[in-house]
Structure 1
């Protein structure tokens, strides 16, 4: 069962209870949006990787002096249709979070639809939304509440690739602290590219292998679907003390990426997928020391599953707890420059023989950003490097503000390293891109 109609009734009742409609409810109506074109060419063969036109309209209006409604849609066409060929089945999404596909080249989506209100000193956001924990560049430790679309791997900004969820999100002052309570009844999970897609996964870190000549059968994913018993809950306690921004985070949730199990039998190998719950406990910290900002995220996740190439293993995965952290430093002491570096590490509680990934994985990032022409031109480069496998990703971009509402963009995405690596699997997907963004 997917997100059931009673959720609509519940959300509707909460809206009516917290936001009495006034006669001038549309007095502060605001309509805006962004129209964007993007063209990407593969460097290996010069082929057209994508040709998209995206319209993102936004509507804001007040229901009362304390209640505001936000609606954000997205209409996108892709003339090439290689990122998600045909009409995706949408199995990873709950019914109320699904997209509408109009043929194989056009899709429409209600990206976000939420109500902001205040009840006493408590801030409450109800509806379809993004809930962001942590701000690491290109890597995630605590930012796990919203699933992600991997149609373009991790190349888009997280804001664009996150899948917003129907949720209740409350922020409650507790003395000098702020308590955030979150309930997510939306059973939507990561969207993994299907075989044949431009960025379909091939690395053994993700995809199980079979001996040559052995038939492989793919079973339908066993996906949670009850909006109440399968819902996620989370809480965050944050504070500012002694110059430090601190938070303590906890989530009890289904991991958004399915566990891929390899079941061997006399008839061959069957690939089964299901989702497993996990407890996540962690925190964040940051402080500014002159021109340097020091920041970090720490997370301990239970009940995670990782691939093993031990063919005697019953299902090809092993369960372990994952201790992860990212430490970062940002420097803004040079005029017009911003520099940032991060170290990310994931350590498993046990690393049995045959584990495909290393028991301890380490990645490093470096970000450089510079503005020119009185900030009309912005140049940026982000490098993500795996210190275990030697592969990585370099993203470079130029953004020129031609008019106050028109931006011209150009960029390049370069993968390198061995093909078995997380980044090296896409070494033949290097691309350059150009585009234009018009706001209204």
Structure 2
């Protein structure tokens, strides 16, 4: 049946357009999470209250037009305002009105074209990918040293969403790859022209008093007018400045390796304090969050070791002029970290072992189980305790010369991989604390996936509301924030 003048016939043609080179897929996904503990910031008992009721629609489209291959990925997210969120919102409006914490669902809701780029092969050796995209460098999982081309959006789920692609913030890039088989590798040239939105730079955290604000900051919106602002135009961290890098990746003697240089932004923001301005006065009454530019030099190695039947990986990254906040006792301990900014070179190393374990007879699994353990160390160069660097802005604990973290993952498979339990654990070997995340994913046919997960944190110190403290390190900020989560996905 003809649909109109000049319309071609056939299953691969619609309205005269050849659809044989077009594909679209995606998912519909829903999350529900519940508080397993009572956060002390609110007057009510919040245990067992829903902390998140969220839905997402993601569309992923591919199109081939002549020599160009196009990719577009869009995602829309919407949340239901639970009673718990409404209580946090009310506290924000009462104490720090006018900021993003005054309308939490508006902060969590978003719709965007996450990726939109084209691939073009100029020759059989030279390829270009141009547009908004994600580029992954490095070997690390939970704690990243080399994978800092992009920032991550940790506002709505912290670091817990298992797919990093869902949290990574895509950028407009020109990614050029040149294959050089004579040397056994390829050269990647990465240019970010500086055309992105300001908010696409660096990591974004819950600084507005939402469900993932570090204790005791739930219900306190630090981004409210008159407190702190986010400044992406600072002279030492202007989001409009072009950045980029170069990486050589190769394979030699059974070892995969890469050597890279990257100019980017300090992924974690630091405070340009109004009491000790760095290079220029801040706009906020207390200060500005900024992302100073940094230079990274990195090496990665990975290879199979027959004697232990495992794959070993390592990542070594030297960061020049990483920015830190100082002042563990600033303003009598009421504003730790607001004593200024100090820059230090940092050496980060990671060693990881990946191995298949034969647990069939012990646990009844259907096939060998995946096991991975990773040790990550952050070493501040020319460390001097008198520098008075804080580990976390707003918390009084000083950072140590070495911060060493250990993580491990064990994945099991049952019933032809239709039931897949997993256990992820991590601990801060330098300061104490960590997490335990047991989960199970049910695979139901080709389209449906159900994930159940518990996010459990332990710590050696925590900050109570109004407290002056000196012992809250990374995982202490997650105190009283254990969660039970269910995630249902329909792929298409």
TM range (shorter): 0.7 to 0.9
Larger mean CA deviation between 111-120 and 249-258 belongs to 249-258
Q: Is the 8 A contact 2:121 2:128 kept in 1?
A: yes
Distance 1:181 1:413 in 2: 39
> Displacement of 1:106 after TM fit?
3.8
Aligned position for 2:292: 276
Aligned position for 1:116: 119
Distance 2:240 2:21 in 1: 39
> Displacement of 1:194 after TM fit?
2.5
Distance 1:377 1:135 in 2: 27
Distance 2:99 2:269 in 1: 14
Aligned position for 2:364: none
Q: Is the 8 A contact 2:248 2:260 kept in 1?
A: yes
Larger % of strand: which? 1
Choose which of 143, 147, 150 in structure 2 pairs with 1:143: 147
Choose which of 4, 24, 29 in structure 1 pairs with 2:22: 29
Distance 1:358 1:228 in 2: 30
> Displacement of 1:107 after TM fit?
2.2
> Displacement of 1:26 after TM fit?
4.1
Aligned position for 1:195: 208
Which of the two has higher C-alpha Rg?
Answer: 2
Q: Is 2:372 the partner of 1:340?
A: yes
Task: Indicate how the Cα distance of structure 1 residues 285 and 270 shifts in structure 2: closer, same or farther if over 3 A, else same.
Answer: same
Q: Is 2:186 the partner of 1:178?
A: yes
Q: Is 2:482 the partner of 1:430?
A: yes
Q: Is 2:61 the partner of 1:43?
A: no
Choose which of 304, 307, 310 in structure 1 pairs with 2:325: 307
Distance 1:428 1:202 in 2: 8
TM-score computed with the length of structure 2 as normaliser: 0.74
* RMSD (Å), alpha carbons: 3.0
Choose which of 343, 354, 357 in structure 2 pairs with 1:330: 354
Choose which of 154, 158, 164 in structure 2 pairs with 1:153: 158
* 3-state secondary structure, aligned to 1:256: coil
Q: Is the 8 A contact 1:71 1:114 kept in 2?
A: yes
Q: Is the 8 A contact 1:203 1:422 kept in 2?
A: no
Choose which of 244, 253, 256 in structure 2 pairs with 1:245: 256
* CA deviations over 1:395-419 (Å, ceiling 9, x no partner): 2211111122111110110111022
Task: Indicate how the Cα distance of structure 1 residues 258 and 414 shifts in structure 2: closer, same or farther if over 3 A, else same.
Answer: same
Q: Is the 8 A contact 1:293 1:331 kept in 2?
A: yes
Q: Is the 8 A contact 1:26 1:62 kept in 2?
A: no
Q: Is 2:455 the partner of 1:413?
A: yes
> Displacement of 1:369 after TM fit?
0.6
Q: Is the 8 A contact 2:274 2:287 kept in 1?
A: yes
* 3-state secondary structure, aligned to 1:424: helix
Task: Indicate how the Cα distance of structure 1 residues 105 and 319 shifts in structure 2: closer, same or farther if over 3 A, else same.
Answer: closer
Distance 1:57 1:289 in 2: 40
For these two proteins, the number of residue pairs brought into alignment is 395
* CA deviations over 1:274-327 (Å, ceiling 9, x no partner): 221111001111001233000011100011122331539983332110100110
Distance 1:424 1:219 in 2: 23
Task: Indicate how the Cα distance of structure 1 residues 26 and 224 shifts in structure 2: closer, same or farther if over 3 A, else same.
Answer: farther
Larger % of helix: which? 2
> Displacement of 1:137 after TM fit?
2.2
Distance 2:191 2:488 in 1: 37
Distance 2:135 2:379 in 1: 26
Q: Is 2:359 the partner of 1:350?
A: no
Aligned position for 2:134: 130
> Displacement of 1:103 after TM fit?
5.2
Aligned pairs for 1:355-394 (under 5 A) are 355=389, 356-394=398-436
Distance 1:239 1:203 in 2: 47
Aligned position for 1:439: 491
Distance 2:452 2:338 in 1: 48
Aligned position for 2:58: 56
Aligned position for 1:395: 437
Task: Indicate how the Cα distance of structure 1 residues 326 and 104 shifts in structure 2: closer, same or farther if over 3 A, else same.
Answer: closer
> Displacement of 1:127 after TM fit?
0.9
User: Structure 1: 5+ residue runs without aligned partners?
Assistant: 1-22, 92-100, 210-215
